[in-house]
Amino acid sequence: MKGRDKLKVLIVEDLPTDVELVVRALKRGGIDVEWRRVDTRAAFLDALDALSPDIVISDYSMPSFDGMSALKLARERDPTLPFLILTGSMNEDTAVECMKAGADDYVIKEHMARLPFAVEEAMDRRALFVEAARKSVQLSESEEKFRLLFETSEDAILLFAEGSWIDCNESVECFWLLSGADHRRESGQILTSKAARRAVFGRGGRQTDRSCLHLGTAVL
């Protein structure tokens, strides 16, 4: 992972020899790691807080803990935390069970060379998710700024959708001495302020396709 700090890996495994295989495989794949091993529920929960891992790699079956339980706990803490299941063998039903439970991938220990690729893919998916979430927040903030500007602007602003006048701000009402319930679309139907805002912003607060006519005081 070029250009990335050490990857913090939480390894859920009861056998130290298997942990060595995991760390060696990651390093051979060019991944510089900071790691911690746990094999109990309590230690796992403590490590989630103390290490704040970038990814969890867990054995599927252990004497006092198991990968599915670790996966459930990890998802409760952070639904986006990359999580890989590592196992000595796996049938199709078990693989499906892991993926349905939210695991990003699974790796059979005999094919440890695939581990770095599985880690890279899981981290890339996490990065895409984080970027999409960031853009969603930016869009929401932009829509809220537009809403605030529309409602508080001293200039008269008319909103149109599909050729029809669907809303105006209070400045239009002041200039034209009309109340919100008196604005009519070309069809002649009364468009109340509540209905207009639903048409413009949608039920979930998202803006629909629209055009905007801005009327400065000089025009009026």
- The model's pLDDT over 163-182, given as tens digits with 9 standing for 90+, comes to 676 677 777 666 655 444 44
Section 103-130 average pLDDT: 91
Pick from 165, 162, 187: nearest CA to 176: 165
* Model confidence at 203: pLDDT above 70: no
pLDDT of res. 24: 96
CB atoms within 10 A of CB 203: 6
pLDDT of res. 148: 79
Amino acid found at 211: S
* Model confidence at 214: pLDDT above 70: no
CATH class of 7-136: alpha beta
- The model's pLDDT over 92-116, given as tens digits with 9 standing for 90+, comes to 888 888 999 999 999 999 999 999 9
pTM over 0.85: no
Pick from 143, 166, 145: nearest CA to 213: 166
Q: Which residue has the higher pLDDT, 28 or 96?
A: 28
pLDDT of res. 192: 42
The domain spans of the chain are: 7-136, 153-215
* Model confidence at 129: pLDDT above 60: yes
pLDDT of res. 173: 65
